[in-house]
Structure 1
């Protein structure tokens, strides 16, 4: 049974059953702390189950650490997926957590973070303590230490580089903090696990099952830009970094040792970029979603119920870069997916930066806003109106009139984009879905949705569809993906509202 309040702990009996059965569906939704050992674990921990009298449940790893518990070396809490029920959307805690994920507390005070979400510092601290059982600083600190723990265990990075990757300004500070919190020196953890040295770094990206990775790849494959990214039946690859210092990454399924994780292979990334890369990929592949909470909210609709049962692991396919998704969205207006991909590929090849040394088929960086803000895009086959819209959005990004900042609410984000010439509600909500991974984005003007939601052969108006979708909040974007997937399975329609 799910809690009525999405930010509350599951019922204690549910927690007990989940930990005893090692139910991966609850991984990351709570943590089990053992008072006799002062260790906290994931619900899936393979160690013998402690006595119930010695168990305390916590909503967040930071709350367990604030109470003096250390992470288990066996189940490794750093590998647990995040809890998307309170980490996403427009709530203050969700927006603050997204900012923390992007490093808002690395070089700035809590007051700056509070200001970005429209609260006072004391209010934000109180809200975190009430909802998560830990302060914003505690969440930030736990996040850094757990990521460092994963790098120490799974990679051969020198400890100095691990400290930089986790956001510590000095090795001394990292060593001191790690020893104080985990009662061992970083080098001692490295000795225990002794990772092999490889040029390609490999990390696990955990998720809660079910997860339809094949459907995710299928969506990305139809939109993959030659030279910039590649999708095969097993994984997704793309160029990252800059033309001067490029690298590449590949995301695929992990082997049978960890059935609830994707494998990230990474080459050429600087240590200080690692945490940001992992954060981007977790959003891009929607790894922190809670399928139980989403299904619970949507299954009351008779149209969605069979779709949820058919594909319970369907996730939101986000994108690597916000500007890239914005350009794709505009090009995709009123054309098919295939046509949009062809035109976007031309733009990338003509105005992007070619790699001096390609990584196999990966040979191209997507153009920056500066590269296309003042060029004649009609030369690649775009209409004058479409070319003007793309130049205009590039200039708006450069000037800061629009952005992809996580402190934006959905209404604020879409309003800023709709204010630009040539960008309507469909395009703005498509950007919110694919650039932000916003769970409640809803392009009500989409022709596919308007025709596919009703089952009597009629077409709903955008107003009627929006009204119908009120019951789907705050997970309307998942309803969109389910309807799109079901519709595309039978045909690939041409949508005047935009290419889905």
Structure 2
């Protein structure tokens, strides 16, 4: 489900005001195309304002490019945050966009994408055209060309590797597509010499303000696994990759004035770059629209003061679905500190050690095949928890459960609760932390049941679910705000119904 106005542009007067004031809250929610120059810009573009009669507004970059406009070299539309209303939730377009973000159209036709979301190809094309004003191929093409443009501008990657990172099968195809769309060769963006990177790549990840990065780091720091992650007051650092090709990434604030995070990468192959960026945008919830969320939740008297106190609070997701699933099971009915200790012990005992540790990083988190048949009671888990982790590892390996983006929330949770030891609380917690699903709602959580009422009573899961119906499709944001407001920021304390 997406908000009913997600298909429409903001009112033209609103667009005009946002453009003239360069309001960053509207960044990525619409684009300004100038008919006299055939260039489209973000609403925050610092260039002199064009005449109103020369302006056409578009809902997304793909529609602007399909209409023959080129991206501005000054404000760089590739840095705009995505439209979170369309890339979140269960609506067909949202699920299809998540698949496109993960590269579903790189090596497969639109028919395959349509099948994965349960539609015919013609239906999906029509739906995209009606809702977004662009076809799935248009959206895919715009996304990969804009990502290539960012790599050409911000990195020293050879153009051949830029083409690979953006999902092009050959340099010739990349050069042709870039010239046809932008009327310039990729090398033309390389006229300015960039400083040497010393094997560390830096990319800018834009977001729509306000953004409470401090709260995000606080949440992640309380759950950071020694050896796998290092989180301080300024940055998040973790090991990524495979045992044969490990690497690391660090996320920090870009600077005090930019609405962006800084991503530093080491050891990643070009073909992995787009996937890494997509995962981090989901993990740090960079495409959320705080104003739309506040509008939807602000009518509730319990949530209104929480939203006012923390307008930039986001959903703190996780890097890897399996890692979050293991954390969720270990966290059933124990404190955050105890769960972290046990999970860190598991990672140290069964994870893959790095040949060359880096800055506190020593191990890759274990994969399902490494935990499917081990005795985890040796690290202090109960027999039931150990069995559950082995069971979910086997279920992931044989395909009974997964973290595929085309799953609806109901489909995802129903598959997981079918496994022994996984109750509704655990499944919804995984949907929130592993998928970043905006409507995940662990109604069995005792913190929620006690914190939502203001009279000292405890509400039942059924009554809480009924009250939260008005919070759709942003119930997960209500959860985060209540957890944070209760001074017990998201913790799997006692999950009633987690079997």
Partner of 1:443: 442
Partner of 1:331: 330
Q: CA deviation at 1:255?
A: 1.6
Q: CA deviation at 1:492?
A: 7.9
| 8 A contact 2:219–2:489 mirrored in 1 | no
Q: Does 1:139 align with 2:135?
A: no
Cα deviation code 1:324-356 (max 9, x no counterpart): 000000000000000000000000000000001
Partner of 1:65: 65
Q: Does 1:424 align with 2:427?
A: no
TM-score in terms of structure 1 length: 0.97
Cα deviation code 1:245-265 (max 9, x no counterpart): 100000000024x52000000
Partner of 2:32: 32
Separation in 2 of the partners of 1:80 and 1:35? 21
Partner of 1:361: 360
Cα deviation code 1:30-65 (max 9, x no counterpart): 000000000000000000000000000000100000
Partner of 1:465: 464
* Partner SS state of residue 227, structure 2: coil
| 8 A contact 2:32–2:43 mirrored in 1 | yes
* Partner SS state of residue 87, structure 1: coil
Partner of 1:7: 7
Partner of 1:482: 481
Structure 2, gaps ≥5 residues long: none
Separation in 2 of the partners of 1:293 and 1:68? 30
Cα 1:142–1:157 change in 2 (3 A) is same
Q: Does 1:55 align with 2:42?
A: no
Cα 1:250–1:490 change in 2 (3 A) is closer
Q: CA deviation at 1:486?
A: 1.0
Query: For residues 275-294 of structure 1, what are the structure 2 equivalents within 5 Å?
Result: 275-294=274-293
| 8 A contact 2:480–2:490 mirrored in 1 | no
Cα deviation code 1:182-213 (max 9, x no counterpart): 0000001111x322221210000000000000
Q: CA deviation at 1:498?
A: 9.6
Partner of 1:21: 21
TM-score in terms of structure 2 length: 0.98
Q: Does 1:82 align with 2:91?
A: no
Separation in 2 of the partners of 1:4 and 1:17? 23
Cα 1:80–1:347 change in 2 (3 A) is same
Separation in 1 of the partners of 2:4 and 2:476? 21
* Partner SS state of residue 237, structure 2: strand
* Partner SS state of residue 85, structure 2: helix
| 8 A contact 2:45–2:74 mirrored in 1 | yes
Structure 1, gaps ≥5 residues long: none
Query: For residues 153-172 of structure 1, what are the structure 2 equivalents within 5 Å?
Result: 153-172=153-172
Cα RMSD (Å): 1.4
* Partner SS state of residue 266, structure 1: strand
Cα deviation code 1:208-243 (max 9, x no counterpart): 000000000000000000000010000100000011
Partner of 1:250: 250
Q: CA deviation at 1:5?
A: 1.2
* Partner SS state of residue 112, structure 2: helix
Cα 1:349–1:301 change in 2 (3 A) is same
Separation in 1 of the partners of 2:304 and 2:20? 30
* Partner SS state of residue 50, structure 1: coil
| 8 A contact 1:7–1:85 mirrored in 2 | no
* Partner SS state of residue 250, structure 2: strand
Cα deviation code 1:2-52 (max 9, x no counterpart): x95122110010001000000000000000000000000000000000000
Cα 1:411–1:496 change in 2 (3 A) is closer
Cα 1:490–1:149 change in 2 (3 A) is closer
Cα 1:61–1:422 change in 2 (3 A) is same
| 8 A contact 1:333–1:498 mirrored in 2 | no
Q: Does 1:312 align with 2:311?
A: yes
| 8 A contact 2:208–2:286 mirrored in 1 | yes
Separation in 2 of the partners of 1:297 and 1:267? 40
Query: For residues 125-274 of structure 1, what are the structure 2 equivalents within 5 Å?
Result: 125-191=125-191, 193-198=192-197, 199-256=199-256, 259-274=258-273
| 8 A contact 2:40–2:69 mirrored in 1 | yes
* Partner SS state of residue 384, structure 2: helix
Separation in 1 of the partners of 2:382 and 2:356? 34
Partner of 1:352: 351
Q: CA deviation at 1:491?
A: 11
| 8 A contact 1:251–1:264 mirrored in 2 | yes
Separation in 1 of the partners of 2:363 and 2:260? 29
* Partner SS state of residue 222, structure 1: helix
Cα deviation code 1:123-147 (max 9, x no counterpart): 1111111111110000000000000
Separation in 1 of the partners of 2:497 and 2:308? 27
Separation in 2 of the partners of 1:442 and 1:16? 37
Query: For residues 367-406 of structure 1, what are the structure 2 equivalents within 5 Å?
Result: 367-406=366-405
| 8 A contact 2:217–2:236 mirrored in 1 | yes
| 8 A contact 2:447–2:488 mirrored in 1 | no
